[in-house]
Chains A and B, each alone.
Chain A
Amino acid sequence: MIAFIIISLIKVAIVIAGLFLMVAYLTWLERKLLGHIQVRYGPMRVGPHGLLQPFADGLKLLFKEDITPAGANKVIYNLAPLLTFIPAFIVFAVIPFGSKLYVFGYRIDMVVSDFNLGLLYVFAVVSISVYGIVLAGWSSNNKYSLLGGLRSSAQMISYEISLGLSIIGVLMLSESLSLIEIVNQQDKIFNWFIFRQPLGFVIFVICAIAETNRLPFDLPEADNELVAGYYTEYSSMKFSMFFLGEYGSMINASAMIATLFLGGWQGPWLPGVVWFLIKIGVLLFIYIWIRASLPRFRYDQLMRFGWGILLPLALLNIFITGIVVVG
């Protein structure tokens, strides 16, 4: 029992530390890639090729003044950053990031918590982070924040349904809600769910981008219309919590795509953790690449796309999968 607790604590520490490091360097990578795509350098000053930039940014944010606007609802205003920050980091508890490891005959699963409703947990927790955005928008007492929050809630409703429906095809084939079981079923490359569920994969990727409020679905932020959207009034550590939450959920979304459709940590020759990181890295690159290429959707386009195209396609996908599974 004690061994179990100690091992769990070590796993939690490793996952949290790794996640923070990845978030920190994801900001660097994004600025660097965006820079080079726009034929400029990106961060270059702090450290070689700006490698220490994330730490400089973090330090700067720590020393910034923490402002609460007059007329803001203080309790909710302070609660909202936590609501987006914490879910982004606890989602990783159920995502398996490597194969089994045997230490002194003791089996260690490369996942913080192995419970058989993992997928449900992920969707439950991820949905909470949207509340943080909505509440931040409402409690700031600022019209732009409110508009950002409203847009976010509308976007959440139209995309979370398709997101949920798109994985039902995977669930029908895997017959399990446990992420470990889903990964185990994708042991060969032809068993990856991307090949068995191509339509589901496309819908899931699009909805995951919308869910994490990234371009081209960043309507809640929309710098050039809404100042900074829902976090306009936030500064200092509260702002950085939103920021970390956004990047954390980007990593989550990539990890979920990798786990559900790209075989998780499965892969030849290299250890499972390495494969998992490679897959996440490629997906994060695509995230940034799409951000650099595509313009933002208009509000009505977004609604029409979500309800008129993605939802019917997700339903069609379930229908086809059902026919295949039964027949």
Chain B
Amino acid sequence: MFKVIRTIIAIPQGLWVTFKHLFKKPVTQRYPEVKREMFERYRGLHYLARDENGKEKCVCCGLCATACPSRCIYMEPAENENGERYAKVYEINELRCIFCGFCEEACPVGAIFLGKEYEFSQDKREKFIYNKEDLLVSTSEAKK
């Protein structure tokens, strides 16, 4: 008998709980319209930084390529008119990349960073090889 009464009481209790939930603000993030704020140390798509004068920082030392455990960075050095070394070709295969962030740690001049961008799906494997133009960002964007 006690059990029956307890069961009958439990029904309106349960209904009250669901009724309260009806007026709560939904926790859903409406993804394409509202993007999720990524946390501080999130490792997303790489970018190559420029210095204050807009010159690219990378000196093509090859330390990032050496540090890279998945061997996804390829670069070819060249010299500019001032005799400074720079990367003529700089490619990252984002399909091979495991987003460990070792390249960022290895870089002696602070040229490569892992950003917060996570939406970079493509329809062809070849398109995942990002070249220098894809990776370079302006000075103002670099803090993103």
Partner of A39, one of B11, B19, B27, B30: B27
A294 to B22, CA, bound (A): 15
Chain A minimum-CB-distance residue to B23:
A36
Query: Smallest Cβ distance from A50 to chain B, in angstroms?
Result: 12
Chain A minimum-CB-distance residue to B13:
A293
Contacting residues of chain B (59-90) with chain A, CB-CB under 8 angstroms: none
Query: Smallest Cβ distance from A46 to chain B, in angstroms?
Result: 14
Tell me if A37 and B22 are in contact (CB < 8 A): yes
Contacting residues of chain B (6-35) with chain A, CB-CB under 8 angstroms: 11, 14-15, 17-19, 21-28, 30
Interface: A25 (CB within 8 A): no
Interface centre among B14, B18, B23, B28, by most chain A C-beta atoms within 10 angstroms, is B18
Q: Is the interface of A mostly helix, strand, loop or mixed?
A: helix
A220 to B123, CA, bound (A): 44
A121 to B23, CA, bound (A): 41
Contact residues in A for B23 (Cβ distance below 8 Å): 36
Contacting residues of chain A (209-240) with chain B, CB-CB under 8 angstroms: none
A36 to B28, CA, bound (A): 10
A39 to B23, CA, bound (A): 8
The 5 closest A-B pairs by CB, nearest first: A293-B18, A40-B28, A293-B14, A40-B26, A37-B18
Contact residues in B for A290 (Cβ distance below 8 Å): 15
Tell me if B27 and A36 are in contact (CB < 8 A): no
Interface: A289 (CB within 8 A): yes
Contact residues in B for A38 (Cβ distance below 8 Å): 21
Contact residues in B for A36 (Cβ distance below 8 Å): 21-24, 26
Tell me if A41 and B19 are in contact (CB < 8 A): no
- Contact surface of B with A, Cβ cutoff 8 Å: 11, 14-15, 17-19, 21-28, 30
Tell me if B27 and A40 are in contact (CB < 8 A): yes
Contact residues in B for A39 (Cβ distance below 8 Å): 21, 24-28
Tell me if B11 and A294 are in contact (CB < 8 A): yes
Tell me if B22 and A33 are in contact (CB < 8 A): yes
Chain A minimum-CB-distance residue to B33:
A44
1/0 contact string of A282-301 vs chain B (CB within 8 Å): 00000001101110000000
What would 18 more interface pairs be, CB under 8 Å, given A40-B28, A44-B30, A293-B15?
Answer: A36-B22, A36-B26, A37-B19, A37-B22, A39-B24, A39-B25, A39-B26, A39-B27, A40-B27, A41-B28, A41-B30, A289-B15, A289-B19, A290-B15, A293-B14, A293-B17, A294-B11, A294-B15
Contact residues in A for B15 (Cβ distance below 8 Å): 289-290, 293-294
Query: Smallest Cβ distance from B27 to chain A, in angstroms?
Result: 5
A289 to B25, CA, bound (A): 18
Query: Smallest Cβ distance from A296 to chain B, in angstroms?
Result: 14
Tell me if A292 and B18 are in contact (CB < 8 A): yes
Partner of B21, one of A37, A44, A294: A37
Query: Smallest Cβ distance from B88 to chain A, in angstroms?
Result: 47
Interface: A198 (CB within 8 A): no
A38 to B22, CA, bound (A): 8
1/0 contact string of A241-263 vs chain B (CB within 8 Å): 00000000000000000000000
Contacting residues of chain A (36-59) with chain B, CB-CB under 8 angstroms: 36-41, 44
Query: Smallest Cβ distance from A193 to chain B, in angstroms?
Result: 23
Known: A33-B22, A38-B21, A39-B21. A294 touches B14 (CB 8 A): yes
